[in-house]
Amino acid sequence: MVRQPMAFFKGELVPLKEANVNITTHAFNYGTAVFEGLRAYWNADHEELYIVQAEPHFARLVRSARILRIDVPFTAGELVSHTVSLLRANAFREDVYIRPLAYKSDAAIKVGLSGIASAFGMFAVPMGDYVPTKGINVAVSSWRRISDNMIPSRAKVSGAYVNAALSSDQAKSDGYDEAIMLGDDGQVSEASSSNLFMVRQGTLITPPITADILEGITRQVVMELAEELGIPQVVRPIDRTELYVADELFLCGTGVQLAGIISVDRRPIADGRTGPITQTIQQVYFDLVRGRSDRHCDFVTPVYEGP
């Protein structure tokens, strides 16, 4: 018997088909919502589902909501518990993507944020690789990354993802896997929906958070793992042409996971294969998120033996 998919909606578990909003909802009309993306990985040997960096993701959701004056009725810790309950209710035994949303819920034709009610909902769906992890081809997009003074780039604002959709669609229509976006200053910001790392002469380099990037949870994990592995790292601006002469490039994020880049604008990166530093970090990361490593056990939350 197929189990009915469940969602967490208006403070309780309900059938997913009943977790609906009206067409007049403010968030639907104006993009006034914030969201997160979390992954949970199935480990068949352990018979366990591991949620990755659950509390940091929900802490970021609460920060994003604060920027848009959205009230989240739960703490980050409470949201972790609700996520565990949601995944248990769905009895997942596979890799899963989790989508929580906090949004302006009033039926209001009004451009603004204050005085408009808020709501929260969450669902989860099975998901494998979002893009290939062993070598992707990217292009520098003609669409610029939104500035933080236009729409907060450090918040996952649903309406802002039109920017990501335009750049990603352009890249895929032109035969690429993903887009790299530049900021208004012409320097590298990030991919359409993931952070970017570059390796030059053995040093791991990534743009600063002031480069209109999302303050990525996976980005922070990569930086912590690199430090433990003894890989030198620098946070600094990156020029577009540096991408062409890099020794290695890779993207990271909940959706893309860690994906090595093998070409930019049809120029091969080094020998056109995923580089050794990328492969090393990938291996450590995937062992961690699947519960195969004793390293950073606190990075994952077990669902079936968890809180």
Residue 307 has pLDDT above 80, yes or no: no
Q: Which phi and psi angles does 304 have, rounded to 5°?
A: -85, -15
**Residue among 199, 197, 244, 237 at smallest CA distance from 216:** 197
The per-residue pLDDT for 276 is 97
Q: Tell me the average pLDDT of the chain.
A: 95
At 74 the three-state DSSP class reads coil
For residue 273, the 8-state DSSP code is S
CATH number 3.30.470.10 given to 6-126? yes
User: What average pLDDT score do residues 101-125 get?
Assistant: 97
Question: What pLDDT is recorded for position 305?
Answer: 85
| Superfamily of chain region 136-289 | D-amino Acid Aminotransferase, subunit A, domain 2 (3.20.10.10)
What are the pLDDT digits (tens) for 223-236? 999 999 999 999 99
Mean pLDDT for 103-116 is 96
pLDDT at 193 over 60: yes
Domain definitions of the chain by residue range: 6-126, 136-289
Give the H or E element holding residue 169. Answer: helix 161-173
Task: State the pTM of this model.
Answer: 0.94
pLDDT at 47: 95
Residues forming the active site: 156
68-77, 183-192, 286-295: range with lowest mean pLDDT: 286-295
How confident is the model over 134-143, as a mean pLDDT? 95
- What was the pLDDT predicted at 1? 44
By the 8 A CB rule, do 302 and 47 touch?
Answer: no
pLDDT per position as a tens digit, 57-92 = 999 999 999 999 999 999 999 999 999 999 999 999
| Residue 135 reports pLDDT greater than 60 | yes
Residue for token pair 């104006």 = 30
Q: Judge contact between 211 and 153, C-beta under 8 A.
A: no
